[in-house]
Every structure is written in C-alpha cells, then in structure tokens.
A = this chain, B = another copy of it.
Amino acid sequence: MATPSKTRRPDELTLEVVDLIGSVVARYHEEYEEAAAEHALTGAQARLLSLLSLEPLPMRKLAQRLRCEPSNVTGIVDRLETRGLVERRPDPADRRVKLAAATDEGRRVARSLRDSLRFAREPLAGLSEEQRLTLRDLLRRMLGVEV
C-alpha cells in the first residue's frame, strides 16, 4: 500500500503474483513430498512411478520427462525395481531399449499416492466453481496453452 502510482519496472502487481505463485509452488512441493513419504517414496521416485502408472516408457523418455540425465534414471528405476514397484522389459522393436513399466503393486501405490494428494482438495475448496473455471483459464493462458 506504499506506492500507489509509481510505475516500477516489473510492476508491483506482477511481483505480488509471482510471489503468490512462489508460495503455491512451495506448498505444492511440501505436500507432494509428504504424500510420497507416506508411501516410503522420495519425490523423484513418486514422480517417476506416476509417469509409469500411465504407460511403460523407455529409460531415455523417462529422462526427458523428468528433465534429468539418463544415468540418473537408471538409479531411480533400480531402487523402485528392488521394491517390486517397477520392472524392466525388453523393447521388441529395438534391443537397445529397455522399457520401464509399473508392476501391479506399483500401479496400486501410484493410485494411493494420487488419492492422498491433499492439494487437490484443501486449497481449491475455498473457490466456487466459477472461480475455479476462471483460475483454469488464467493458468492455461499463463502456460501458453493455445486457446
């Protein structure tokens, strides 16, 4: 409330919105890690398992989705494989490729993880349906989703 009329460079309002987004990011992360920990998973393991719960993927594609090095994915898949949540399959079309796939148990854990993600309920509960629609459209536009 200090500077009403001054035109700052990145502008006051934008800064506040960025700050709010920062808070949302922090909270989202916290709750995600927390939900993962309840299933004895790390954040990285939970993200990878969630991806695989939809469809099997080659290691290379996993690395692209997670934006990290393939050698890193090797380790994460190793740990999940040890626990029987993920398995490696050969790709019949290319013998260089290994497909990582969630096991039945892995899919079960992924579903349970998804359900325990409180973020889907609490923060959005305070918004009416119309407000959620507005928020959806604004977020879409922010992310450059073609309307």
- Spell out A's residues near B (CB within 8 Å): 1, 10, 13-18, 20-25, 27-30, 67, 117, 119-121, 123-124, 126-129, 131-136, 138-144
Contact = CB atoms under 8 A, between A and B. Distances in A.
Given A1-B128, A143-B20, A133 B15 contact: no
A1 to B, nearest CB: 6
A120 B25 contact: no
User: Is chain A's binding surface mostly helix, strand, loop or mixed?
Assistant: helix
Given A10-B121, A25-B28, A124-B14, A134 B129 contact: no
| 9 closest cross-chain pairs (CB), A and B | A20-B139, A123-B142, A18-B120, A135-B138, A25-B28, A25-B25, A10-B120, A17-B136, A126-B141
